[in-house]
Amino acid sequence: MQRDRDEWSGSVSDGAVATSTYYTEFTGDEPVSMAVVRAVAAVTGIEPAVLTPLGECIETDALETLFGTPVRTMATRSLRFNYAGCLVTVCGDGSIALTVPEYENSNGVENC
């Protein structure tokens, strides 16, 4: 199923923390690492320059090697990691999912 670029999928509660998941896509026109930082900044409302550098959380060269060119045949390949309070899932089909806890009275910002 093809998702529209940059859409919210709704909220889920596991009994402890409610979360929202945000989807976007990367096309290969920019590095995957930049697409992740841009997406996290958009979801959290934090300027990219203020976020912890992604390279301090994950090996960005490996991220580019694994996902630098989105291809449908790599759709089953995925990588999950925490970044700036978000659970980031990068998939080989070019999609990025950000799962964000819904904090009350907090900006929810965490490092890696």
Other beta carbons less than 10 A from residue 82's beta carbon: 14
Q: How many domains does the chain have?
A: 1
> 33 in a domain, yes or no?
yes
Alpha carbon distance, N-terminus to C-terminus of the chain: 30
List phi, psi (to 5°) of 17.
-135, 130
> 6 in a domain, yes or no?
no
> 74 in a domain, yes or no?
yes
3-state secondary structure of 110: coil
> 7 in a domain, yes or no?
no
What secondary structure does DSSP assign to 59-105, as a single string?
-HHHHHHHHSS--GGGTT-EEEEEETTEEEEEETTSEEEEEEE--SS
> 31 in a domain, yes or no?
yes
> 12 in a domain, yes or no?
no
Domain boundaries, position 85: 17-101
pLDDT score of 102:
74
Q: In a structure prediction context, what are the per-residue pLDDT tens digits for the chain, which is 112 residues long?
A: 334 444 544 444 455 567 889 999 988 788 999 999 999 999 999 999 999 999 999 999 999 988 987 666 677 889 999 999 999 999 988 899 999 987 643 454 555 6
